[in-house]
Structure formats: structure tokens, C-alpha cells
Structure 1
């Protein structure tokens, strides 16, 4: 793949040797069984990450009986259980808040001491000193201050749960969406595995918010899996946080002694091997580590996922020892938490009715726009996200928001981020509810109705809700 698409050149590390089992050709026949129907609903959302949580809230607010299926014991996915506490840019390069609706609402639920980031009057600032200060705290890029808050993941879990239950959606935890229920080629719900065994939920519309496209792939929908091994968006790792640190002291040293900091990084690579920088968190005594980013692994291979967990947890303790010894502000550091959820950036991407591609970064407003994403750099315009990117090209009964939306690999680099997952998830929830209410397939829902409902829920759109066409 062309090197021109690699916008993110942060350090990545190749796969170490590990066990990857090769099937020996044997198969077992699983006995046929009758699967109990656990529930029936209008909208079933499988996966309670950023996209799934937003989808469940949006659907339930439109009156759809909505069930949210989640394999863990919390909502928020990588934004909470994955410790991706740094929420990427929600403003464009002029400081305008363009990712709104659910995204804006859930962050507004957090107490002030659970969020760190620039004040609103600083968004879009090109002041060199301000940009330098916030740039070290992951909230300014290309010399521009942005709305990229860092949040306390526990408070975010609580805010997600409150919004889901207040909307009337029904969360079902400790239930792993395993397989789509398909009748006459249409998805009619999903089977899930649980302590009660295999069960099923039937639904008028199913939202695949697994992040990896597990349901649409198993339903036979076309998709892509290719990713550039030289791009960080193909990497996987488990994040962690250290407590007992003094981040202001660390940042003062990093900014004031650049030569020492450069030598520190070089020594870290020499001693630790795969080495990563400490990031700011929601408070000054907690350091966030969102790497090292490990390349050459597949998010769809359990042996690879296991190898990532082993490597990441060992690296956490090696980083702890090195930072305690070498980094100002880290002498009293202790291991606070390693993420309960592995940090997968890419697995599958849907082949949809429409897609976001590199050629679409020209500022054109798509007729079926359901959201606006900030572009990667100031030289590009805001990116219009089309409803068709959530709709499988051929498969009915299902929508697919989140990091597996229909896009090329380069556009995936920003569409996979948490704010964009909130954006596409909210749109999917609205469309699913309207499809269920109208007893039509998601591709047949008039886009004007989706746009009107999204605007009613606070989303930012540039397309006026007066275009009476569908995604078909």
C-alpha cells in the first residue's frame, strides 16, 4: 500500500514469535438443539461500546423496545473498559463542535473533576504557547487547540448506563452475541452465549455494534479485512494506567529538557524493547499508557489476542520499573489498572451501500449525511459521513455502526475513533427505530426522516432534512 496514506507514524512494534495453532483437520459434530428465545424486541443492539450505547439510547428515545447485549459488566467499550480515556477530536480545525448529539450529552454528564481538557473558549486557538501546552496533553495538533478531553472511565461507565436505562433500553450483561438469527436471508436477531447456555433474541432490526463486525461477517455480508502493517491503525495492545505519579513535574521536565527526554526515550527502547510515552489522564496523579502498539497480529485470531495480552502485561511492569528509575514524577508510581478489554483498532470493515473514501475528504456534503467528522489535518475539509456506510450492500435486517463502518483503510484511521463511533451509533439507533416502526428494511427508511430525528436529538448535520430518498 502507498506510503502516502500513512498519516499516523507513531512508533509501532512488530509481532514477537508466539504460538499460533494450526488446525489438524479434525472436526466434531455439534448435536442439534432447540434454542430458547430469551426475548423479542424492536431493536437489538449487539455490543455496548461507544457505538452500541449511542444506538441503544437513540432507538429507545424514539419509542422502540430496545435490548442492548453486552459481554462485559459495563458499557462504553474501549472508551471505558479499554482505558482509551483520551477522547479524540470532536471539534474541527476552526474550533467548531461538529460531533454532537449523544457525544456531547454523555460527556456533559461527567463531573468536572472527571474531565480534563481545554476550555471551550480555547477550541480552535492557534496561539503558540497554548497549543504547545495542550499539545503535550493530547489536546492540540498542528498548532491548533481542539476539544479532545481525557475522561475518568469509571464515571463514563456510569453516564453510559444512566443514559441507556433512562431512555428505557434494556441492558443485558454477560451475554456474548455469537451468531445472527437468519430467516429467508434476513437478519432477525442474534443467538448469544451465557451462563444459561445458548439463547436467542428476536428483533425487527439488529445493530451490529461488536466493533469487529462479527454478526455481519457471520451473516455473509461482504467486508474487507486488509490493513497496512506500517500504520498504527492495524496495531493491537492492552492499555494501562499508573497511579502515584506527578504528571506536571514529568511534563515540565519533558518540555524543559528536550535532549534529556530524547535520551530517555532511546534508553527506554534499549532496556524495555517495545517502549511507549506516558500520556496525560483526567488527573495529575494518574498516567495513561495507550501502547506500545503491537503490529502483525490479527484481532480475529484467539492465539494472537492471547499473545497480545501476555506481551502487554509484561510490558506494563517493565515500563513501571524503567519510569520509576528514570522519569521525573514517577518515583512513587504504582500499577493502578490494566484494561479489562483489549485495544483492537481494526478487524473488519463493512462493504456498504456507500462508503467514506479518501476522495471524499473534499468537503462535499453527502445527500444522506448522518454526521460530520473532523478531518485528519487542517489541509482537509470536514468529512461527510453517509447513512449508506452503515447499511450492508446486500444483507437486510441489520445496521453496522462503529469502527467497522464502510470505508477505505485510510478513512478508517479517524472513523474508528470514539466520537465517530458515538456519531454513527446514534444514527444507526435512529434508523433502526424508524425501520422497526415502519416495518421496512433499514435501507428503505427515508433519509430525511433519519436526519430530522438526529437533529431532534442534538446531532450536527449540514444536510437539511428535506430529501425524501432512501439508502437503497
Structure 2
């Protein structure tokens, strides 16, 4: 028999108000907040943890995957490129893209894709400072738990943090939670990733007077990229169980199991070499694809080299050389909620395309477009696509690729 606790009805205070509320401080959310603030909006960025960057920083997925097509051509620009530069402002940990940043030849750019490895802590602090300089109100330790709707619009987002329960009233909302939580609360149509998520727990370790990144478990490998012979960049199956990433009990189990396997790995290495010492471990469940918006358009990976009139940016397939995609604005909005945009891995794509669009550069592209649109136009049905595209072009975004 199921038992219930009936909570007493209560009023929730409006604690803050803004033009654009960005829920989720991963790369997509950071890009959205930057773009919205640069376009004149009063912005609040809501982040559950106490560090920006999401999986890229707290998860130690410190690989800024390629913004080129593997054929020697840069594909993604705007904030996708700007944040790459910011990530290695104080030096790259590995894979410094010399061919791209120091006038390399076409052959050198083909051999070395435009990607890098960054320090997660420095990158997170630099992003925080950039947002603060733009006047963005960063609200840490705060999680969205519900929304209040007025018809087909979100009036307020209900949050909880150390101060208790309150609400933020915003003209527009950008869901960059990674799990489309705002979409769910607003009862927008969503879809769940069918294949679920494998187990992983990346960590840094110290050995032979150097600190290294260990990609333990599921890892993202770039075809044909020289890994410099570290021996760490391999896909290692550490469990056959897969996780949706959308259940609280399951997520706890996932993290515990991942750390258990990671600890065994560390102890095995340490038994062979006492100098093998863990430095820091991922502090988030390493889930990659969970829940997404079912938008006005759902893009598939078969649509490479396809022209979209409403493109908001170009991206590559980080996994292999050659494919280039234009991203339709319609993937960032749905039919149900008039003032809701999505960014990052929440956008409307098929399961096959999801693996391409969930990564750092694409999150930056979609975040920049969502933030710009929200600041300039408010409700999604008021967006002038040509006007949005003109502004994105002014922000150094490339909208269309000259397919050969």
C-alpha cells in the first residue's frame, strides 16, 4: 500500500525578477547567459552546484572536442571558438591546437583537429568572471523544482536553495539543465534517450612528477587524432548496467558503482607504483543523454551537408572527419510554451544525432543562439529569424557551410 504525506498549501515569495532566466550552468547555459547579457538583457543564471561548467569541469570531461571538420576547415565560430580560447587562456593541459592558433598549414590542420584539453578549475573561474563582468546574476546551490504557468507561458520558476523555497519571475526561460527539467515541469513534450548511459568516472592522478587525466570508463575518442601515446584514451567498459540518469535513487547508485570501480583501478595502479596518487575525481554522475525537448523540428544525423534556412550555426561530427551540419532554430523551441528555449543537450534531435550535439562546442553554439533570441525577442513566436541571424553574424557566428 502506498502512503502519502499531504503538504499544507503555501505561498511562495518572488525573490528575484529578470528578463532571461537560464536554468543550468553547463557550457550551454554559460553561452546562453553570455549572449543574453551582451544583447542587453537582465540575466539570472541558476546553477545547482557551486561551480560552472557541468560535465566539462565538475565531471572532469576536460576535452574541448573539435570545432573543425577534420579536413582542415574550421566549422564552429562565435562563442564556440571564444570559449575554447578562454579554456586555455593560461595554457592547455594537452592537445594545444598549434596548427590552428599559430598559422599552421592546411596539412597540419588536417593532421591535428581544432580541439584541446583544458584545466577544469581555471576554466570554471574564468567563465564565472566573464559572467560577472557582464552583470549576470549567478545563483549557485539553487535547483529548479517546478514552474508556475499562466496559460502557455512560464510566469515563474520555483527554486530551492539554502534560503528555502522561492520563485524567480522571468520574461523568458532557457532550459540548459541537461535533462530538460524545465520542459518537464512546464509540461512541454519531451523524449527520453532509449539506450541509457554507460558507467564512467574520470579522474586526475599524479605519477612520475606529472598530473594526468584518466578517462576511466566510457570515453569520447576522436578519430585519427594523435593521442601522444598516453595509453589512457581508450573506451573501457566497467559495467554492463546502463542508467537513464533521470531517477534520484538510480543516480546515487550510478555514482557509487562508478567510484567503486574507479577506486579498484586506482588501488591496482598504486600497488604497481606507490607514486600513483589520485588528485581529483569527477563530482557529477557522468550521464551524457537523458531527456530532451520534442521541438518544432527534430534533426537527424543523416542531414549532414543540408541547408537550413533558419540555421543558427554550423557544427561538425566530433567522432569522424567530413560531416558538417547546420542547426535549425526550430530545434531550440517547441509548440507548447511560448517563452521557453532550450540549449545544450536538451535540443530536439534524434537519438542518433544526440551523440553529436551533446558536446561542448555544440552546446556553445545552441546556447549563444538561444540567449541571443531570448534577449532580443522574448517569446519564441516573436522571433524574426532574419534579424536573429543578422545578429548572430555580427557575433562572428557562421550560419551556412559552403558544401563542396
CA RMSD of aligned residues (A): 3.3
Secondary structure of the equivalent of 1:443?
helix
Contact 1:239 1:290 in 2 (8 A): no
Instruction: Give deviations 1:332-375, integer Å, cap 9, x for gaps.
Output: 210111112221111112110112113312x1121110111103
Q: Counterparts of 2:340 and 2:367 in 1: how far apart (Å)?
A: 13
TM-score for the superposition, normalised by structure 2: 0.88
Of 37, 42, 56, the residue aligned with 1:79 is 56
Aligned to 1:34: 11
Secondary structure of the equivalent of 1:180?
strand
Return the offset for 1:323: 2.6
Return the offset for 1:277: 8.4
Return the offset for 1:46: 0.6
The yes-or-no answer on 1:348 pairing with 2:291 is yes
Instruction: Give deviations 1:129-170, integer Å, cap 9, x for gaps.
Output: x89xxxxxxxxxxx8421121100011101211221122211
The yes-or-no answer on 1:435 pairing with 2:377 is yes
Q: Counterparts of 1:405 and 1:307 in 2: how far apart (Å)?
A: 27
The yes-or-no answer on 1:200 pairing with 2:167 is yes
Aligned to 1:425: 367
Q: 1:317 to 1:378 in 2, by over 3 A?
A: closer
Aligned residues: 393
The yes-or-no answer on 1:91 pairing with 2:68 is yes
Aligned to 1:370: 312
Contact 1:239 1:291 in 2 (8 A): no
Instruction: Give deviations 1:395-422, integer Å, cap 9, x for gaps.
Output: 2211011112100000001100111111
The yes-or-no answer on 1:217 pairing with 2:173 is no
Aligned to 2:204: 241
Q: Counterparts of 1:277 and 1:451 in 2: how far apart (Å)?
A: 35
Aligned to 2:247: 301
Q: Which runs of 5+ in 1 are unaligned?
A: 1-23, 132-142, 252-273, 465-472
Aligned to 1:175: 142
Aligned to 1:385: 327
Contact 1:236 1:345 in 2 (8 A): no
Q: 1:214 to 1:291 in 2, by over 3 A?
A: farther
Return the offset for 1:321: 2.2
Instruction: Give deviations 1:297-328, integer Å, cap 9, x for gaps.
Output: 121111211111111111122111223355xx
Instruction: Give deviations 1:257-304, integer Å, cap 9, x for gaps.
Output: xxxxxxxxxxxxxxxxx9678999x9999x789975654212111121
Q: Counterparts of 1:288 and 1:332 in 2: how far apart (Å)?
A: 21
Q: 1:108 to 1:220 in 2, by over 3 A?
A: same
Q: Counterparts of 2:187 and 2:134 in 1: how far apart (Å)?
A: 32
